[in-house]
A and B are shown apart, each in its own frame.
Chain A
Amino acid sequence: MKSTFTRSLLLAPVLLGSLSVLALRHASTVVPDPDNAGLTLPAGFSALKVAETGGRARHITITPQGTIFVKLNRPNAAGKGLLMLRETSGGKAEVASAFGTYGGTGVYSTPEYLYASSDQDVFRYKLNGKGEVVNPEQPEKIVTGLLNRRQHESKSITLDREGNLYVNVGAYSNTCQVKDRQKGSLGQPNCPILDSAGGIWQFRADKLNQTYGDGIRYATGLRNVVGLDWNAQANQLFVMQHGRDQLYDNFPALYDSKQSAELPAECMYALKKGDNAGWPYLYYDGQQRKKMLSPEYGGDGKKQAPGNYLEPAAAYPAHTAPNALLFYTGTMFPERYRHGAFIAFHGSWNRAPEPQKGYYVVFQPFKNGKPSGDWEVFADNFAGSAANAAAGRPEHKPCGLAQGPDGSLYVTDDKKGTIYRIVYAKK
């Protein structure tokens, strides 16, 4: 009895010691790449390439246990569209398994479930206590039959804290013209696209085989949202809209190619149920900070849009394609980043012949659930050089964001399939 007691007394510090060593090892073994993975970052931050997936890595999610799931835009050579990665050493990870036969963009996890979307459907997979998918080949179909007409096909997803699932259904059109993207073609009256696309739909996260009829058109007048996230402080859905293209191409008498490159702003919206952001009837001029009437609906570049449409919460440079939004809740980064938004800008193409822009991750400060102060470029040079970015020929294109259990920020790239991890170390 006595010996057992002393033994356990002796054992306790040993156990504690080894536990703390384990904890220490886990925390201290993140080894940044000597060149910070080619990225430029604020002082104190560093980065590494976690893995090269070789796929078009769209969105990413990480479970509390640190299991990484990445959604591929198209199935890989083995025909799989979802990757599971496990941490190896030095903060890196490797693909441990692949499953799901569909391509797509959306992926999201709760401690219990992994959600993933094709361009038509939303699936979910039960997770076990280790953050692994229990039944990779038999997901439950949560939503089915969403419109996919190739243009703006991504079905990005997020959840609120009350068991609701939010899905973007992008408009299969630039501005709801009678003839899409045709020079001079006017807008269709009462744009019929908005019945089934150009908005955010709300479904239950736990009900199977829901279709449009089971869902609610939560917000409309949103051309295409790829990045969206639930803000816990405001208890509100925030989305990033991809603004319209081709003002000069389609209305050369009203806009020159320089104006067309700077208009309209890419907008962040804070949504409430029933909101209408005004697409296709208006676009947002970020310089004038005004909602302008679209030329397809009688605008001339000067007329403001009539009607009671939602004001953007914040605005960013035109055509830079915000593909992911993440509210940071970790404690690894300095205090000012907490509850602020990281936004991954995929980069522009519609600024040509002006230099292209984007291919960076932006930080937008927030205060009490609202944007507060100017945005700033946080992680840059995914393109590899300024010349690559200007030419629209970047090496990598940021597309997805996730927060690791330790507060690291993960960024995916859908050009080469690189997974980045950005960490902060107090100096």
Chain B
Amino acid sequence: MKQILALLCTLAWFSFPAAAQKTPTPKVKSRPAAAGGVVVGKTIYARNCLTCHQADGGGVDGMNPPLTQTTYVLGDKTRLVKVILNGLQDEDIDGEPYNNVMPAFDILTDQEIADVLTYIRSNFGNKASEVTPAEVKAIRATNRK
């Protein structure tokens, strides 16, 4: 409950400046916009990813891989975006088997995928660069299942 309250507070905190900034400025790399994306990313995470990968991104032993410090999350963005678009199963993550099935999340928009991946790559102790909607769009265009 506390976490939900905290999330709501952070949402309220960020959503005003983020919304205010989105309309006037065209497409400039600005910190607040990225932070807004991360907040949206957190809600997308809660709705689609949290049950399996858990609130702390630590995953579940032998079932759902952690999102902390794995090459899948921190490494090649194309591979990472394709995991979201196509789902993943029967694959070891950094040498560890995980037996659950990840479904495809290709119903998410380019923006949503960019937001949630940016959130994951900059949380749970991760410090990797953001993923942009343009990158997701390009990968989706060439994605073959």
Contacts and interface: CB of A to CB of B under 8 A. Distances in A.
Given A150-B89, A183-B107, A249-B48, A349 B101 contact: no
A349 B107 CA distance: 25
Interface string A244-258: 011011001000010
**Interface extent on A, as a size class?**
20 to 34
A246 B51 contact: yes
A391 B58 CA distance: 10
A397 B48 CA distance: 26
A8 to B, nearest CB: 61
Contacts of B56: 391, 393
B91 to A, nearest CB: 10
A180 B62 contact: no
Given A150-B90, A349-B63, A183 B100 contact: no
B10 interface: no
Contact of B103 (A149, A152, A183, A350): A183
A252 B47 contact: yes
Nearest to A346: B61
Nearest to A248: B51
B64 interface: yes
A157 to B, nearest CB: 19
Contacts of B87: 182
Interface in B3-59: 3-4, 46-48, 50-52, 54-56, 58
A73 B61 CA distance: 12
A211 interface: no
A392 B60 contact: yes
B63 A179 contact: no
Given A249-B51, A392-B60, A151 B99 contact: yes
Contacts of A183: 48, 103, 107
9 contacts: A152-B99, A181-B100, A182-B104, A183-B107, A248-B51, A349-B60, A352-B55, A353-B3, A353-B46
Interface of A: 56, 73, 149-153, 173-174, 179-183, 185, 245-246, 248-249, 252, 257, 260, 349-350, 352-353, 391-393, 397, 415
Given A179-B103, A353-B4, A353-B46, 20 more contacts: A56-B62, A150-B99, A151-B99, A153-B99, A179-B104, A180-B103, A181-B101, A181-B102, A181-B103, A182-B87, A182-B103, A245-B51, A249-B51, A252-B47, A349-B52, A352-B50, A352-B51, A353-B50, A393-B56, A415-B61
3 A-B pairs closest in CB distance = A182-B103, A150-B99, A349-B60
